[in-house]
Protein backbone atom coordinates (compact mmCIF):
# COMPACT_ATOMS: atom_id res chain seq x y z
CA UNK A 1 0.00 0.00 0.00
CA UNK A 2 1.39 3.42 -1.00
CA UNK A 3 1.82 6.37 1.37
CA UNK A 4 -1.06 8.06 -0.43
CA UNK A 5 -3.34 5.07 0.18
CA UNK A 6 -2.29 4.93 3.83
CA UNK A 7 -3.07 8.63 4.22
CA UNK A 8 -6.48 8.16 2.62
CA UNK A 9 -7.25 5.26 4.94
CA UNK A 10 -6.08 7.23 8.00
CA UNK A 11 -8.31 10.21 7.23
CA UNK A 12 -11.27 7.99 6.43
CA UNK A 13 -10.94 6.40 9.89
CA UNK A 14 -10.72 9.84 11.49
CA UNK A 15 -13.97 10.68 9.67
CA UNK A 16 -15.65 7.43 10.71
CA UNK A 17 -14.69 8.08 14.32
CA UNK A 18 -15.96 11.65 14.08
CA UNK A 19 -19.31 10.71 12.57
CA UNK A 20 -20.01 8.14 15.28
CA UNK A 21 -18.84 10.53 17.96
CA UNK A 22 -21.05 13.40 16.77
CA UNK A 23 -24.12 11.21 17.10
CA UNK A 24 -23.11 9.82 20.49
CA UNK A 25 -22.34 13.32 21.85
CA UNK A 26 -25.71 14.68 20.78
CA UNK A 27 -27.63 11.67 22.09
CA UNK A 28 -25.71 11.71 25.39
CA UNK A 29 -26.43 15.40 25.86
CA UNK A 30 -30.14 14.77 25.28
CA UNK A 31 -30.11 11.95 27.86
CA UNK A 32 -28.34 14.02 30.49
CA UNK A 33 -30.80 15.40 33.04
CA UNK A 34 -30.88 16.35 36.70
CA UNK A 35 -30.79 12.97 38.45
CA UNK A 36 -28.87 11.14 35.70
CA UNK A 37 -26.09 9.00 37.17
CA UNK A 38 -22.45 9.66 36.27
CA UNK A 39 -21.94 5.93 35.72
CA UNK A 40 -25.22 5.57 33.84
CA UNK A 41 -24.45 8.23 31.21
CA UNK A 42 -20.80 7.18 30.92
CA UNK A 43 -21.54 3.50 30.31
CA UNK A 44 -24.41 4.36 27.98
CA UNK A 45 -22.17 6.55 25.79
CA UNK A 46 -19.28 4.07 25.77
CA UNK A 47 -21.61 1.22 24.80
CA UNK A 48 -23.35 3.38 22.21
CA UNK A 49 -19.99 3.99 20.49
CA UNK A 50 -19.52 0.24 20.06
CA UNK A 51 -23.15 -0.26 19.00
CA UNK A 52 -22.96 2.38 16.25
CA UNK A 53 -19.63 0.95 15.14
CA UNK A 54 -21.18 -2.49 14.74
CA UNK A 55 -24.12 -1.02 12.81
CA UNK A 56 -21.72 0.70 10.41
CA UNK A 57 -19.18 -2.11 10.18
CA UNK A 58 -16.53 0.03 11.87
CA UNK A 59 -14.36 -1.20 14.80
CA UNK A 60 -15.21 1.81 16.98
CA UNK A 61 -14.19 1.97 20.64
CA UNK A 62 -14.03 4.75 23.24
CA UNK A 63 -10.76 6.66 22.82
CA UNK A 64 -10.83 7.50 26.53
CA UNK A 65 -13.33 7.25 29.40
CA UNK A 66 -16.29 9.60 29.17
CA UNK A 67 -15.46 12.74 31.18
CA UNK A 68 -18.30 14.03 33.36
CA UNK A 69 -16.99 17.24 34.91
CA UNK A 70 -19.36 19.55 36.79
CA UNK A 71 -19.43 23.19 37.87
CA UNK A 72 -15.86 24.29 38.78
CA UNK A 73 -14.38 21.09 37.32
CA UNK A 74 -13.02 21.66 33.82
CA UNK A 75 -11.81 18.18 32.81
CA UNK A 76 -11.00 14.61 33.85
CA UNK A 77 -14.05 14.09 36.02
CA UNK A 78 -15.04 10.45 35.54
CA UNK A 79 -17.26 7.80 37.05
CA UNK A 80 -15.72 5.40 39.55
CA UNK A 81 -16.63 1.70 39.79
CA UNK A 82 -20.10 1.50 41.34
CA UNK A 83 -20.35 5.31 41.32
CA UNK A 84 -23.70 6.43 42.75
CA UNK A 85 -23.28 10.17 42.10
CA UNK A 86 -26.03 11.86 40.14
CA UNK A 87 -26.14 15.14 38.26
CA UNK A 88 -27.71 18.05 40.11
CA UNK A 89 -28.55 21.59 39.03
CA UNK A 90 -24.99 21.93 37.74
CA UNK A 91 -22.98 22.89 34.68
CA UNK A 92 -22.05 19.53 33.16
CA UNK A 93 -19.22 19.00 30.64
CA UNK A 94 -19.39 15.78 28.63
CA UNK A 95 -16.06 15.10 26.91
CA UNK A 96 -16.13 11.97 24.73
CA UNK A 97 -13.70 10.31 22.32
CA UNK A 98 -13.86 7.57 19.68
CA UNK A 99 -11.04 5.62 18.08
CA UNK A 100 -11.16 3.50 14.94
CA UNK A 101 -8.02 1.37 14.65
CA UNK A 102 -6.26 3.99 16.79
CA UNK A 103 -7.34 7.01 14.71
CA UNK A 104 -9.18 9.46 16.89
CA UNK A 105 -11.98 11.96 17.24
CA UNK A 106 -12.55 14.09 20.35
CA UNK A 107 -15.51 16.32 21.20
CA UNK A 108 -17.18 17.99 24.16
CA UNK A 109 -20.41 19.77 24.99
CA UNK A 110 -21.74 21.62 28.02
CA UNK A 111 -25.18 20.70 29.35
CA UNK A 112 -26.27 23.45 31.73
CA UNK A 113 -28.75 23.25 34.59
CA UNK A 114 -27.55 26.41 36.36
CA UNK A 115 -29.14 29.01 34.10
CA UNK A 116 -25.77 30.51 33.09
CA UNK A 117 -26.52 30.36 29.39
CA UNK A 118 -24.08 33.12 28.41
CA UNK A 119 -21.13 31.23 29.88
CA UNK A 120 -22.08 28.21 27.78
CA UNK A 121 -22.54 30.42 24.73
CA UNK A 122 -19.10 32.00 25.26
CA UNK A 123 -17.33 28.66 24.77
CA UNK A 124 -19.57 27.73 21.83
CA UNK A 125 -19.01 30.99 19.99
CA UNK A 126 -15.29 30.94 20.77
CA UNK A 127 -15.09 27.54 19.10
CA UNK A 128 -16.96 28.79 16.02
CA UNK A 129 -14.59 31.76 15.74
CA UNK A 130 -11.59 29.43 16.06
CA UNK A 131 -12.91 27.11 13.35
CA UNK A 132 -13.45 30.06 11.04
CA UNK A 133 -9.81 31.07 11.57
CA UNK A 134 -8.28 27.65 10.90
CA UNK A 135 -6.37 27.09 7.67
CA UNK A 136 -2.92 26.20 6.37
CA UNK A 137 -0.32 28.75 7.41
CA UNK A 138 -2.44 30.09 10.26
CA UNK A 139 -0.43 30.45 13.48
CA UNK A 140 -1.86 28.64 16.49
CA UNK A 141 -1.48 31.84 18.51
CA UNK A 142 -3.91 33.54 16.12
CA UNK A 143 -6.50 30.88 16.86
CA UNK A 144 -5.95 31.42 20.57
CA UNK A 145 -6.44 35.14 20.07
CA UNK A 146 -9.81 34.50 18.41
CA UNK A 147 -10.90 32.30 21.32
CA UNK A 148 -9.74 34.81 23.92
CA UNK A 149 -11.39 37.73 22.14
CA UNK A 150 -14.81 36.06 22.03
CA UNK A 151 -14.72 34.88 25.64
CA UNK A 152 -13.51 38.29 26.83
CA UNK A 153 -16.38 39.84 24.90
CA UNK A 154 -18.84 37.90 27.04
CA UNK A 155 -17.13 39.18 30.19
CA UNK A 156 -15.52 35.84 31.09
CA UNK A 157 -11.99 34.44 31.10
CA UNK A 158 -10.56 31.65 28.95
CA UNK A 159 -8.87 28.85 30.88
CA UNK A 160 -5.33 29.66 29.85
CA UNK A 161 -3.56 26.52 31.09
CA UNK A 162 -5.72 24.14 29.07
CA UNK A 163 -5.29 23.82 25.32
CA UNK A 164 -6.56 22.07 22.27
CA UNK A 165 -4.21 19.53 20.75
CA UNK A 166 -3.22 17.36 17.86
CA UNK A 167 -4.53 13.81 17.53
CA UNK A 168 -2.10 11.07 16.56
CA UNK A 169 -2.26 7.31 16.06
CA UNK A 170 -3.07 5.79 19.47
CA UNK A 171 -2.09 9.19 20.88
CA UNK A 172 -4.72 11.53 22.28
CA UNK A 173 -2.46 14.55 22.81
CA UNK A 174 0.15 15.41 20.18
CA UNK A 175 1.51 18.60 18.65
CA UNK A 176 0.35 21.17 17.85
CA UNK A 177 -1.20 22.67 20.96
CA UNK A 178 -4.06 25.08 20.25
CA UNK A 179 -4.03 27.74 23.00
CA UNK A 180 -7.15 29.35 24.41
CA UNK A 181 -5.53 32.80 24.45
CA UNK A 182 -3.24 34.90 22.28
CA UNK A 183 0.38 33.70 22.49
CA UNK A 184 3.47 34.46 20.44
CA UNK A 185 4.87 30.93 20.67
CA UNK A 186 3.37 28.17 18.57
CA UNK A 187 3.42 26.85 15.03
CA UNK A 188 1.67 27.33 11.72
CA UNK A 189 -0.98 24.77 10.83
CA UNK A 190 -0.39 22.56 7.79
CA UNK A 191 -2.71 20.78 5.41
CA UNK A 192 -3.50 17.36 6.86
CA UNK A 193 -3.09 18.30 10.52
CA UNK A 194 -5.75 16.68 12.70
CA UNK A 195 -6.49 18.77 15.77
CA UNK A 196 -9.05 19.13 18.53
CA UNK A 197 -9.95 22.72 19.39
CA UNK A 198 -11.53 23.09 22.84
CA UNK A 199 -12.24 26.48 24.37
CA UNK A 200 -12.99 26.62 28.10
CA UNK A 201 -14.72 29.72 29.48
CA UNK A 202 -15.00 30.53 33.18
CA UNK A 203 -16.27 33.15 35.60
CA UNK A 204 -13.19 32.35 37.66
CA UNK A 205 -9.60 33.49 37.31
CA UNK A 206 -8.84 31.36 34.25
CA UNK A 207 -6.37 28.82 35.65
CA UNK A 208 -7.12 25.27 36.71
CA UNK A 209 -5.32 23.24 39.34
CA UNK A 210 -5.23 19.50 40.08
CA UNK A 211 -7.82 18.11 42.46
CA UNK A 212 -7.63 14.96 44.56
CA UNK A 213 -9.98 12.75 42.54
CA UNK A 214 -8.38 10.50 39.91
CA UNK A 215 -10.23 7.86 37.89
CA UNK A 216 -8.46 8.08 34.51
CA UNK A 217 -5.01 6.62 33.78
CA UNK A 218 -2.70 5.87 30.86
CA UNK A 219 0.30 3.68 30.18
CA UNK A 220 3.65 5.41 30.67
CA UNK A 221 5.96 2.48 29.96
CA UNK A 222 6.01 -1.31 30.00
CA UNK A 223 7.96 -2.94 32.81
CA UNK A 224 8.32 -6.17 34.74
CA UNK A 225 5.73 -6.27 37.54
CA UNK A 226 5.81 -8.80 40.35
CA UNK A 227 2.42 -8.34 41.98
CA UNK A 228 -0.17 -10.63 40.34
CA UNK A 229 -3.08 -8.17 40.23
CA UNK A 230 -0.83 -5.41 38.94
CA UNK A 231 0.58 -7.75 36.30
CA UNK A 232 -2.94 -8.75 35.18
CA UNK A 233 -3.94 -5.10 34.97
CA UNK A 234 -0.85 -4.24 32.93
CA UNK A 235 -1.51 -7.08 30.48
CA UNK A 236 -5.03 -5.77 29.88
CA UNK A 237 -3.84 -2.17 29.54
CA UNK A 238 -1.20 -3.06 26.94
CA UNK A 239 -3.52 -5.32 24.95
CA UNK A 240 -6.76 -3.29 25.03
CA UNK A 241 -5.93 0.36 25.63
CA UNK A 242 -2.30 0.65 24.49
CA UNK A 243 -1.27 4.26 25.16
CA UNK A 244 -4.81 5.69 25.27
CA UNK A 245 -6.40 6.73 28.58
CA UNK A 246 -8.54 4.20 30.42
CA UNK A 247 -10.79 4.13 33.48
CA UNK A 248 -10.21 2.21 36.68
CA UNK A 249 -13.69 0.75 36.22
CA UNK A 250 -12.57 -0.76 32.88
CA UNK A 251 -10.04 -3.07 34.55
CA UNK A 252 -11.07 -6.71 34.94
CA UNK A 253 -8.64 -7.53 37.74
CA UNK A 254 -9.77 -7.74 41.35
CA UNK A 255 -8.46 -4.96 43.60
CA UNK A 256 -7.96 -2.64 40.64
CA UNK A 257 -7.28 0.35 42.92
CA UNK A 258 -4.35 -1.46 44.57
CA UNK A 259 -3.04 -2.67 41.20
CA UNK A 260 -3.06 0.85 39.80
CA UNK A 261 -1.36 2.22 42.89
CA UNK A 262 1.47 -0.28 42.44
CA UNK A 263 1.77 0.52 38.73
CA UNK A 264 1.90 4.24 39.52
CA UNK A 265 4.60 3.69 42.14
CA UNK A 266 6.72 1.97 39.48
CA UNK A 267 6.07 4.71 36.94
CA UNK A 268 4.25 2.27 34.65
CA UNK A 269 1.03 4.30 34.48
CA UNK A 270 0.20 7.91 35.25
CA UNK A 271 -3.07 9.35 36.40
CA UNK A 272 -5.17 12.30 35.23
CA UNK A 273 -6.38 14.22 38.29
CA UNK A 274 -9.55 16.26 37.95
CA UNK A 275 -8.62 19.75 36.73
CA UNK A 276 -10.62 22.47 38.45
CA UNK A 277 -11.20 26.16 38.95
CA UNK A 278 -11.80 27.63 42.41
CA UNK A 279 -14.85 26.20 44.18
CA UNK A 280 -17.95 28.21 43.57
CA UNK A 281 -16.86 29.11 40.04
CA UNK A 282 -18.20 27.63 36.81
CA UNK A 283 -16.47 26.36 33.66
CA UNK A 284 -18.04 25.71 30.25
CA UNK A 285 -16.43 23.77 27.40
CA UNK A 286 -17.05 23.09 23.72
CA UNK A 287 -14.84 20.99 21.43
CA UNK A 288 -14.64 19.74 17.86
CA UNK A 289 -12.07 17.70 15.92
CA UNK A 290 -11.02 18.96 12.51
CA UNK A 291 -8.73 18.18 9.58
CA UNK A 292 -6.88 21.18 8.14
CA UNK A 293 -7.61 21.48 4.41
CA UNK A 294 -6.32 23.68 1.57
CA UNK A 295 -9.15 26.16 2.04
CA UNK A 296 -9.82 25.93 5.78
CA UNK A 297 -10.86 22.84 7.68
CA UNK A 298 -13.17 19.85 7.65
CA UNK A 299 -14.88 19.37 11.03
CA UNK A 300 -15.29 15.64 11.62
CA UNK A 301 -17.50 15.91 14.74
CA UNK A 302 -20.34 18.17 13.48
Identify the active-site residue in 61, 121, 198, 214. Answer: 198
Identify the active-site residue in 46, 61, 95, 215. Answer: 95
For the annotated binding site for substrate, the residues are: 76, 173
- Asked if 182 and 277 count as a contact pair (C-beta separation under 8 A), the reply is no
Tell me if residue 173 is catalytic.
yes
Nearest to 172 by CA among 241, 113, 256, 234: 241
Tell me if residue 220 is catalytic.
no
Buried b (16+ CB within 10 A) or exposed e, 77-87: bbbbeebeeeb
Identify the active-site residue in 61, 106, 142, 214. Answer: 106
Listed in sequence order, the DSSP H helices in the chain are 3-31, 38-56, 117-133, 140-153, 228-236, 256-265
Integer Cα distance of 259 and 55 in angstroms: 35
For the annotated binding site, the residues are: 76, 95, 106, 165, 173, 198, 287
Separation of CA 35 from chain center? 23
Integer Cα distance of 249 and 41 in angstroms: 14
Tell me if residue 46 is catalytic.
no
Q: Residue 241, CB half-sphere, CA atoms under 13 Å: how many?
A: 27
Tell me if residue 7 is catalytic.
no
For the annotated binding site for a divalent metal cation, the residues are: 95, 106, 165, 198, 287
Integer Cα distance of 135 and 294 in angstroms: 7
Nearest to 98 by CA among 289, 292, 269: 289
Tell me if residue 106 is catalytic.
yes
* Residues contacting 59, CB < 8 A, separation 6+: 53, 100, 101
Identify the active-site residue in 203, 277, 287, 288. Answer: 287
Would you say the C-alpha torsion 114, 275, 177, 196 has a positive or negative sign? negative
Integer Cα distance of 217 and 108 in angstroms: 19
Would you say the C-alpha torsion 210, 213, 217, 222 has a positive or negative sign? positive
Tell me if residue 287 is catalytic.
yes
- Give the largest CA-CA distance in the chain: 56
By annotation, the residues acting in catalysis are 95, 106, 165, 173, 198, 287
Amino acid sequence: MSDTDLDAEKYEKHRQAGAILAQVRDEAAERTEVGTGYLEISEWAENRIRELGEERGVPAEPAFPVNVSVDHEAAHGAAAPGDDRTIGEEMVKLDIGVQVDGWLADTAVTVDFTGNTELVEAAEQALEAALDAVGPGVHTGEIGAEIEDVIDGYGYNPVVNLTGHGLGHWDQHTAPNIPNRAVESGVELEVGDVVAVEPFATDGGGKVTEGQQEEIYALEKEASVRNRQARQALEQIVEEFRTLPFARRWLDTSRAEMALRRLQQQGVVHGYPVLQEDKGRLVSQREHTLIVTEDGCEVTTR
